[in-house]
A and B are shown apart, each in its own frame.
Chain A
Amino acid sequence: MTTYIFRRLLTSIPTLILISMMVFAIVALAPGDPLGGLATNPDVPASVRLNILHQMGLDQPLPVRYVKWAESWVMGNWGYSFGSHMQVTRLLLQRLPTDLWVIGSSYLLAVLIAIPVGVISAVKQYSAQDQIATTLAFIGYSVPTFFTGVLFIIIFSVRLRWLPFIYNVEVHDPIGMLKQAIMPVAVLALFQAASLTRFVRSSMLDNVRLDYVRTARAKGLAQGKVIRRHVLRNSLIPVVTLVALQLPGVFTGAVVTEQIFRVPGIGSLLISSLQNSDTPVLMAITFVAAILVVLMNLVADVIYGTLDPRIRYG
């Protein structure tokens, strides 16, 4: 097991290096530059613009910039944002708690909805409950968050005046915090829950038909116990993997939803740094996301092994 993990970690290093090079190249070669807004500004003559570029280190050739970036990244220095000149790590740490709270609770809510609904759908296949759950799941899955988000705003903020639609980190009272989180969490949770429900349902259906379930029933176990103890447990193995693979999303944020509700998470930081060609911030976010994806893949594989004893690591 230890050697397996060690080997996997080692092989992920070249993958990550390759990812970093590609992302760096894409960001650098994309049209637009961080001084784009100053190009038509008559107050900034070319010589001053060059000095600003020099301060940002953008006057050097691409390979040099990459090596410098990689060096300082390994040393733990993620650089400074071009826009604010704040340390990228500080910038990310400012945003992370909001993401953990909003996106974390939406994931939790999604799981809490998806598992019971999925189980009921599977156990009572083709019943009215199943039909309703299936319909809702397809709607939830196919309607994009930018639509549900705006719909929620118009219903709950503009018409009913129940909830604020602009997320503000300066709100400190628990009720206010809850109220402003309801809509973004709900939008995200509905979307997540929709796909997860379908997944739980099909995984349950796969198991319900198997021989060990018949054996359990044959030895006289009650239906509820069969479902909970035997079917659900085994069905959740692939679900756990899926959830683990989605966890990096807590870090990278939900780009669209954060933009709609002005949630100051990492997703909205990603968007604004993209618009401003803020390379250090972009690199930090995308690269941390890449590392998390690689790591979570490993974690999922390891969990899978512990949950399912039939899996052996070669």
Chain B
Amino acid sequence: MQRDDLRRLVVDLRNHRLTRRQVAIRMGEVGLSLTAAWALIDRVTAGPARAAAMPGRGSQGTLKLLYWQAPTILNPHLANGTKDFHASHVVLENLLHSDTAGNLTAVLAVEVPSLANGGVAKDGRSVTYKLKQGVKWADGRPFTSDDVVFTYQYIANKQTGATTYGNYDDIAKVEPLDVNTVRITFKAPTPFWYRAFVGENGMVLPRHALDAYVGSNSRNAPFNLKSFGTGPYMVDTFRPGDLVVYKINPYYRDPNKPAFSQVQMKGGGDAVSAARAVFETGEYDYAWNLQVEWPVLSHMMEAGKGVLQPEPGGGVECLYVNQTDPTKTVDGQRSSVQTKHPFFSDVKVRQAFALAVDRQTMATQLYGLTGDPSPNLLTTPSKYYSKNTKMTMDLDRANSMLEEAGWKRGSDGVRQKNGVRMELSYVTSVNSLRQKEQEIVKAGWEKVGAKVNLQSVDAGVFFSSSPGNNDTIAHFYRDIEMFTDSFDLSPVSYMNQWYSGDPSRDIAQKENNWSGTNLVRWQNAEYNKLFQEGIKELDPQKNVQTWIQANDVAVDQVAGIPLINRKGVNARVKTLETGPNMSAFDDATWNMADWKRIG
């Protein structure tokens, strides 16, 4: 395990999540002498000798990317999944890029708007972007503020059916101040001005290609299959579900970039063989999202051809704890808000269950470099990561807490109280990794006297929104559910999962066709108050503090049990340099203009 610990520290150091001093101290903790630790750190931070200037436009032949889910559409605002965003981002660009911490950098904007430079209005009602001058679309037409305005109109039209809609629905209007300046006005003051036109949801579309396709005929546009933008490449040929071939955008603003004359994005197959193609055979230069069990992945990595790129922000694998009774039927639904869970309604019982979960084993055995044990529900953007929470596993305390709560062991070892047995159903999607996680959690809970029945449901059903299907996550006809919800640049949509300001709207139930976002049916006034503050607080520091407090309340009250802070894991061959291309909020292809072969 020591080697894994060291490797993890080195990765954290490379990605600037820990300082050199912090790393040295932790290396000491895992048994390295201080001299050895510093020697290692020096070697890591020295990095490759700063490579020479870019090798020259189109001088490095073909770059081959492997995606085990194949792109099907090349318009990011109509994307069916992550792969479509990545495929689109090779040709299109956003105004700002965001890294996993939430730090912004300018792409099509001249600079990042801020309170200091006057870009962000003091009242939180608007933000003004200055756009780079002289940028051209791949067909030679100039890129102007009008394209930004158009992109907003395209997405905001509900008939278009844009899958990025939610990032733009707090905007009142987007208007051009001049050819290179654009102002976004919000419906209400907001601290989260950076949701629109930033990151993977922020790519700007050319008006002249899509003007006739706003609204219900949006999916008929030829542009969707042959998109072009301001980025380094443009689509050459596209075979949906199989292969995208890109060629250089002749109008790209930097004459020395990109380094490759052609990019191929191949889709399909499975994650294991995708890992093999980079780590073992080197047939491909880059592979996306290697969701492979850690023992298999680490074995392949030993072949030495590739480098893993683990990046936090892949969501938190979480146990959702039902607060209502999934066995009673009230008004034609189970898990009705009018019922109380026979044992999880007691916070002491929930806390005892949280203490009996062995995250550490789960992380080291199943995830390795691809996930860390997490004490927090809200982990990303990493500035919201709370340091107040603890991750403890303590079976003795869990047992005594259950005793105190009145749950006594029966003759079969299962606890009971007032004739209720502590027997629970625990469901997740069909996925061999998740089934192994279930086993680890179950082992812990059975040690504290609960009887656990494991179940798994096909992912297509489990995550679907069908009101007629009792097996969806929103119906929650079980005691415990396990899945991962994704993060957004603003914590609002993620933290919505525990908010109950208007229970009839927010809590999933028959009355709202199970569309409420609060699936665990948890109601807590303190949390609701913090949530409300977090939406409004304009001071960036105070805002972060508010959300951290909200996380702490939800963790302390065990509205959910966080397990693993998952990472996005891509891989590159050693001879490919991709720069800081990994981010939880942007596509791995966002900086492809800078990719080059080395050595």
Residue pair B464, A169 in contact (C-beta under 8 Å) = no
Q: Is there an interface contact between A41 and B461, defined as CB atoms closer than 8 Å?
A: no
Interface residue stretch chosen among B126-134, B173-181, B272-280, B549-557: B272-280
Chain A residues with Cβ under 8 A from B280's Cβ? Answer: 158
In whole angstroms, how far apart are the Cα atoms of A206 and B466 in the complex?
Answer: 58
- Per-residue CB contact flags for chain B residues 462-505 toward chain A (1 = under 8 Å, else 0) read 01111001001100000000000110100001101000000000
Inter-chain CA distance A289–B463, complex, in Å, is 31
Contact A37 B81 (CB under 8 A): yes
Residues of A within 8 A of B225 (CB): 84-86
Closest A residue by C-beta to B461:
A31
A9 within 8 A of B: no
CB distance from A135 to the nearest CB of B (A): 30
Smallest distance from the beta carbon of A208 to chain B beta carbons, Å?
A: 46
With a cutoff of 8 Å between Cβ atoms, the chain B residues found around residue A49 in the complex are 161, 465
A44-B163, A44-B166, A158-B281 known; A170 vs B264 contact (CB < 8 Å)? yes
Q: Write the chain B residue with the least CB distance to A39.
A: B465
Total interface residues on A, CB under 8 Å, equals 51
Q: Does A214 contact B (CB under 8 A)?
A: no
Q: Name B283's contact: one of A41, A47, A164, A260 (CB within 8 Å).
A: A164
- Residues on B with C-beta less than 8 A from A260 are 269, 273
- Given contacts A51-B216, A161-B281, A170-B264, whether A31 and B240 have CB atoms under 8 Å apart is no
Q: Once the chains bind, are B488 and A169 in contact (CB under 8 Å)? A: no
Cβ of B7 under 8 Å from chain A: no
Q: Which of chain A's residues have a CB closer than 8 A to the CB of B216? A: 51, 54-55
0/1 interface trace, chain B 262-299, chain A, CB 8 Å (1 if under): 00101011100100110011011000000000000000
CA distance in complex: A39, B163 (Å): 11
Contacts of A44 in B (CB 8 A): 163, 165-166
How far does the Cβ of A128 sit from chain B's closest Cβ, in whole Å? 39
Assembled-state Cα–Cα distance A277/B459 (Å): 13
Partner of A46, one of B220, B486, B496, B515: B515
Q: B364 contacts which chain A residues (CB < 8 A)?
A: none
Total B residues in contact with A, Cβ cutoff 8 Å: 60
When distances are taken between beta carbons in the complex, the residues of chain A under 8 Å from B283 are: 157, 164-166
Check if B80 sits within 8 Å of A83, measured CB to CB: yes
Q: B60 to chain A: closest CB distance in Å? A: 17
Q: Which residues of B contact A43 (CB under 8 A)?
A: 163-167, 201, 488, 493
Per the bound structure, the CA–CA distance linking A276 and B80 in Å amounts to 10
Give complex CA distance A165, B282 in Å. 11
Asked if B73 is at the interface (CB within 8 A of a chain A CB), the reply is yes
Q: How far is the CB of A275 from chain B (nearest CB, A)?
A: 8
Residue of B nearest to A42 (CB): B493
When each residue 11-52 of chain A gets 1 if its CB lies under 8 Å from chain B and 0 otherwise, what string results? 000000000000000000001110111111111111111011
B540 within 8 A of A: no
CB distance from B79 to the nearest CB of A (A): 10
**CB-CB < 8 A to A268: which residues of B?**
241-242, 268
B219 within 8 A of A: yes
Contact, CB under 8 Å: B241 / A33: no
Least CB distance from B81 to A in Å reads: 5
Interface pair B473/A81, CB less than 8 Å apart: no
State the Cβ distance, B238 to closest chain A Cβ, in Å. 8
Q: Chain A: which residue is nearest B281 at the CB level?
A: A157
- For the complex formed, measure the closest distance between the CB of B245 and the CB atoms of chain A, giving whole angstroms: 6
Q: Decide: A169 near B239, CB < 8 A? Known: A31-B469, A40-B463.
A: yes
A202 beta carbon closer than 8 Å to chain B:
no
The residue in chain B whose Cβ has the minimal distance to the Cβ of A48 is B165
Chain B residue with the shortest CB-CB distance to A164: B283
Q: Does B438 belong to the interface (CB within 8 Å)? A: no
- Chain B residues positioned under 8 Å from A131 (CB to CB): none
Closest partner residue, chain A, to B62 (CB atom) = A170
Closest A residue, CB atoms, query B72: A83
Asked whether B243 is an interface residue with its Cβ less than 8 Å from the other chain, the reply is yes
Question: What's the nearest-Cβ distance from chain A to residue B83, in Å?
Answer: 11
The verdict on B70 contacting chain A, using a C-beta distance below 8 Å, is yes
Q: A31-B469, A85-B224 are in contact. Are A48 and B80 (CB under 8 A)?
A: no
Asked if A42 and B242 make an inter-chain contact with CB atoms under 8 angstroms apart, the answer reads no
> In the complex the two chains form, is B72's CB within 8 Å of A84's CB?
yes
| Interface presence of B88 (CB below 8 A) | no
Q: Are B276 and A158 in contact (CB under 8 A)?
A: yes
* Cβ-defined contact, B165 with A83, below 8 A: no
For the complex, is B511 an interface residue (Cβ under 8 Å from A)?
no
One digit per residue, 1 when the CB lies within 8 angstroms of any chain B CB and 0 when it does not, for chain A 122-161 equals 0000000000000000000000000000000100011001
| A168 at the binding interface (Cβ < 8 Å) | yes
Write the chain A residue with the least CB distance to B221: A85
**Distance between Cα atoms of A84 and B164 in the complex (Å):** 17
B169 at the interface (CB under 8 A from A): yes
Any A CB within 8 A of the CB of B198: no
A94-B462 Cα distance, complex, nearest whole Å: 33
Taking the complex as formed, is A272 at the interface, i.e. its CB lies under 8 A from any CB of chain B?
A: yes
- Given contacts A44-B165, A44-B166, A33 and B220 within 8 Å (CB-CB): no
CB distance from B48 to the nearest CB of A (A): 27
Closest chain A CB from B402 CB (angstroms): 33
* A264 at interface by CB-CB < 8 Å: yes
Contacts of A84 in B (CB 8 A): 72-73, 224-225, 240-241
B288 to chain A, nearest CB (A): 14
CA of A84 to CA of B74 in the docked complex: distance in angstroms? 8
CA distance A166 to B485 in the complex (A): 32
Instruction: Find the A residue at minimum CB distance from B169.
Output: A45
- Taking the complex as formed, is A299 at the interface, i.e. its CB lies under 8 A from any CB of chain B? no
List chain B residues, Cβ under 8 A from A45: 165-166, 169
A89 to chain B, nearest CB (A): 13
The reply to whether the CB of B403 lies closer than 8 angstroms to some CB of chain A is no
Q: Using a CB-CB cutoff of 8 Å, which residues 235-258 of chain B contact chain A?
A: 239-243, 245
Nearest B-chain residue to A275, judged by Cβ? B460
Write out the residue numbers on chain B whose beta carbons fall within 8 Å of the beta carbon of A42.
Answer: 166, 488, 493-494, 496, 517
Is A91 located at the chain interface by the 8 A CB criterion?
A: yes
Q: Shortest Cβ distance from A48 into chain B, in angstroms?
A: 5
- Say yes or no: B239 contacts A94, CB within 8 Å: yes
The verdict on B112 contacting chain A, using a C-beta distance below 8 Å, is: no
- What are 14 A-B contacts defined by CB distance under 8 Å? A33-B466, A36-B463, A40-B463, A42-B493, A44-B163, A45-B169, A48-B161, A85-B224, A153-B276, A166-B269, A262-B266, A262-B269, A264-B268, A268-B268
Task: Give 8 closest A-B pairs by Cβ, nearest first.
Answer: A43-B166, A32-B460, A84-B240, A39-B465, A42-B493, A83-B72, A264-B242, A52-B161
20 further A-B pairs in the complex, CB-CB below 8 A; given A161-B281, A262-B266, A262-B269 = A31-B461, A32-B461, A35-B465, A41-B163, A42-B166, A43-B488, A45-B169, A49-B161, A51-B158, A80-B219, A81-B240, A83-B241, A84-B73, A85-B73, A91-B241, A153-B273, A158-B280, A169-B242, A170-B243, A264-B241
